[in-house]
Structure 1
Amino acid sequence: MSSVILSTADMLAFELKNLINNGSLRDGDRLVERDLASQFSVSRIPLREAIQKLEREGLVDVYRNRGAVVRTLTVHDVDEIYQLRALLEGDAIFQSLQYMDSETLTRAELVHKLLGSASESTQQGQYNREFHELLYRKCKNQRLLKMINELRAQIERYELLQHRLLSETLKFQDEHEHILNACLRGDPAAARDFTVEHILSAGLILKSYMTNR
Structure 2
Amino acid sequence: MQPKIDSTADALAQSLRESIANGELHDGMRLVERELAGRFSVSRIPLREALKKLEAEGLIEIYPNRGAVVRALEPSDVEEIYAMRMLLEGDAIYRAVKRMDEETLVRAELVHRLLGKTKTADKQGELNREFHELLYAPCGNGRQLKAIRELRGQVERYERLQSMLLADTEAFQHEHAAILQACRERDARGARAMTVAHLTSAKQIVERVVTQARPEGRR
Q: Deviations over 1:129-160 (max 9, x none)?
A: 11101110100222111110110111111111
Number of the residue aligned with 1:89: 89
**Partner SS state of residue 99, structure 1:** coil
Number of the residue aligned with 1:146: 146
How many pairs does the alignment contain? 208
Is 2:45 the counterpart of 1:45? Answer: yes
Q: CA deviation at 1:184?
A: 0.6
Q: CA deviation at 1:208?
A: 1.5
- TM-score relative to the length of structure 1: 0.94
Q: CA deviation at 1:123?
A: 1.0
Give unmatched runs, 5+ long, in structure 1. Answer: 1-5
Number of the residue aligned with 1:198: 198
After TM superposition, the runs of 4+ consecutive aligned structure 1 residues lying more than 2 A away are none
Query: Pairwise mapping of residues 1-213 of structure 1 onto structure 2 (< 5 A)?
Result: 7-213=7-213
RMSD value over aligned CA atoms? 1.1
Q: CA deviation at 1:79?
A: 1.5
CA contact (8 A) 1:97 1:138 kept: yes
Identify the range of structure 1 (45-54 vs 158-167) with the bigger mean alpha-carbon deviation: 158-167
Percent identity (aligned): 58
Q: CA deviation at 1:29?
A: 1.0
Give me the whole-angstrom Cα distance separating, in 2, the residues matched to 1:167 and 1:128.
14
CA contact (8 A) 2:22 2:122 kept: no
**Partner SS state of residue 24, structure 1:** coil
- TM-score relative to the length of structure 2: 0.92
Q: CA deviation at 1:65?
A: 2.0
CA contact (8 A) 2:179 2:194 kept: yes
CA contact (8 A) 1:99 1:139 kept: yes
Number of the residue aligned with 1:3: none
Q: CA deviation at 1:39?
A: 1.0
Give me the whole-angstrom Cα distance separating, in 1, the residues matched to 2:203 and 2:74.
13
